[in-house]
Amino acid sequence: MPSASAGASAATNGPARADGDAMKLSFVMCSNRTGLEVVSRIGRLAALASDEIEIVVRDNSGDPEKQDSLARMQGPNRKIVSVDPCASWGNMLGALSLATGDYIFEIHDDDDLNVIAMPGLLRGIRDIDNDPSYVAVAGFYVLELGAQSVLYSLEDFDAPTGGERVGSFVKSAYSVLHFSAIRRSVRTQLDDFNRSLPFRFAYLDQIQAVLLLSLGRFRTVRHVLYTYDMHNWADPVQARRTDLKYYKDNGVDGSVLQLQYLLQGFEGAKAIAEKFLPLPLTAAERLDIAHRWFGHKYSRFADGPVAVDETARFNREAQALAGKWKSRPEFDFAALLTDLSEFFALSDPAAGQRYYDFWK
């Protein structure tokens, strides 16, 4: 495991708020779907705008009929804009740049926000606003898994140490932390880090969750805040298809599926131990969390079933690399980085070098 930076700076959660000052929460939605259902969903979201709640919608669907409907929703504390079709990541960054709230709650345009829970969410924000040990407010979630619905809540994410919080997360079945009211200053730190990454794969939300839990505590309110349509992850076939889309969008051969959990473990551990500097942790705390994360993902890599894209070009090379690291009794992260970078270079030499330069 690489050594941690002992001089990491504390997270900036913003100045304490004077009693009586207004507080604003920004709901941020990137939208590219079309049809009456998504327009209706955006309309319900727009109706929440108030002196405390700002609504930001950035539509890149390119659909004139939808854009005309959205233009009619403009109003106080509503920033609803339409742009030319663009990549989803760029659309999200553009939407976040419009938000001015002290807390950011990201919404997908195929999910539903529970508007009845908004007073409870705002109370939760007021409760933590002057306590910098808290970085976010979460709640209960309804997860739509195709064949069934699941009611899910976060457990022990209010624990005093990052190690305890991350320990709870690695035992968790689902990653929903990004559907929370996150301090904008913290969200900005995470987005700056994400923007710097050589690749942004489907598991980035999990690494972001570990960084969030390392940064501070979550207050959980006893309300269902969000219904998350998880059809893309409802079964192994769908999940593999979604993962492959992210890999191919980044110009990486689908054979990387065989290394997926090894990659998650490596990138998360390096981010926690070295690369994400704002963590308000000692070197020892960083390494403890990095070990927890890597151990969890490595176990899934070593013991779990292997997903394979039969159409990929470099399956034989991926299989050989996976076998090499499954048999390692001890880990040399410098050697692992070299192997991963050389693997990515099979698809694109420049991409392999970019990966090595970032994570070294």
Query: Please, are residues 117 and 224 in contact by the beta-carbon 8 Å criterion?
Result: yes
Domain boundary among 233, 263, 295: 233
For residue 10, is it within any domain? Answer: no
For residue 110, is it within any domain? Answer: yes
Residues 213-227 pLDDT 10s = 999 999 999 999 999
Q: Could you tell me if 214 and 339 lie in one domain? A: no
Q: Could you tell me if 251 and 197 lie in one domain? A: no
Q: Could you tell me if 269 and 227 lie in one domain? A: no
Residues 37-58 pLDDT 10s = 999 999 999 999 999 999 999 9
Look at residue 3 and tell me whether its pLDDT is greater than 90.
no
Query: Please, are residues 79 and 31 in contact by the beta-carbon 8 Å criterion?
Result: no
For residue 101, is it within any domain? Answer: yes
For residue 180, is it within any domain? Answer: yes
Q: Could you tell me if 136 and 283 lie in one domain? A: no
Contacts of 120 (CB under 8 A, 6+ apart): 139, 221, 222, 223
Q: Which domain holds residue 158?
A: 25-233
Handedness of CA 100, 28, 158, 277 (dihedral sign): negative
Residues 154-184 pLDDT 10s = 888 999 999 999 999 998 878 899 999 999 9
Handedness of CA 122, 75, 27, 41 (dihedral sign): positive
Look at residue 18 and tell me whether its pLDDT is greater than 60.
no
Q: Could you tell me if 117 and 178 lie in one domain? A: yes
Q: State how many domains the chain has.
A: 2
Look at residue 8 and tell me whether its pLDDT is greater than 90.
no
How confident is the model at residue 306, as a pLDDT? 84
Look at residue 137 and tell me whether its pLDDT is greater than 90.
yes
For residue 292, is it within any domain? Answer: yes
Domain boundary among 179, 204, 233: 233
Q: Could you tell me if 87 and 207 lie in one domain? A: yes
Residues 183-209 pLDDT 10s = 999 999 999 999 999 999 999 999 999
Look at residue 237 and tell me whether its pLDDT is greater than 90.
no
Look at residue 5 and tell me whether its pLDDT is greater than 50.
no
Phi, psi for 189 (deg, rounded to 5): -60, -45
For residue 60, is it within any domain? Answer: yes
Measured between alpha carbons, how far is 299 from 262 in angstroms, rounded to an integer? Answer: 9
Contacts of 335 (CB under 8 A, 6+ apart): none
Look at residue 93 and tell me whether its pLDDT is greater than 50.
yes
Would you state the structure tokens that stand for residue 349, as one six-digit string? 């030499």
For residue 17, is it within any domain? Answer: no
For residue 311, is it within any domain? Answer: yes
**3-state helix/strand/coil string of the chain:** CCCCCCCCCCCCCCCCCCCCCCCCEEEEEEECCCCHHHHHHHHHHHCCCCCCEEEEEEECCCCHHHHHHHHCCCECCEEEEECCCCCHHHHHHHHHHHCCCCEEEEEECCCEECHHHHHHHHHHHHHHCCCCCEEEEEEEEEEECCCCEEEEECCCCCCCCHHHHHHHHHCCCCCCCCCCEEEHHHHHHHHHHHHHCCCCCCCHHHHHHHHHHHHCEEEEEEEEEEEEECHHHCCHHHHHHHHHHHHHHCCCCHHHHHHHHHHHHHHHHHHHHHHCCCCCCCHHHHHHHHHHHHHHHHHHHHHCCCCCCCCCCCHHHHHHHHHHHHCCCCCCHHHHHHHHHHHHHHHCHHHHHHHHHHHC
Residues 282-321 pLDDT 10s = 999 999 999 999 999 999 999 988 889 999 999 999 999 9
Q: Could you tell me if 35 and 121 lie in one domain? A: yes
Q: Could you tell me if 43 and 68 lie in one domain? A: yes
Residues 147-162 pLDDT 10s = 889 999 988 899 999 9
Which has the closest alpha carbon to 191: 99, 79, 288?
99
Q: Could you tell me if 133 and 240 lie in one domain? A: no
The better pLDDT of the pair 329, 25 is held by: 25
Which has the closest alpha carbon to 198: 360, 25, 22?
360
Q: Could you tell me if 200 and 211 lie in one domain? A: yes
The CATH number linked to 100 is 3.90.550.10
Domain boundary among 233, 267, 301: 233
Q: Over pLDDT 90: what percentage of the chain?
A: 78
Q: Could you tell me if 102 and 219 lie in one domain? A: yes
Q: Could you tell me if 165 and 276 lie in one domain? A: no
Q: How confident is the model at residue 21 (pLDDT cuts 50, 70, 90)?
A: low
Q: How confident is the model at residue 277 (pLDDT cuts 50, 70, 90)?
A: confident
Look at residue 4 and tell me whether its pLDDT is greater than 50.
no
State mean pLDDT over 69-88.
93
State mean pLDDT over 72-90.
92
Look at residue 231 and tell me whether its pLDDT is greater than 90.
no
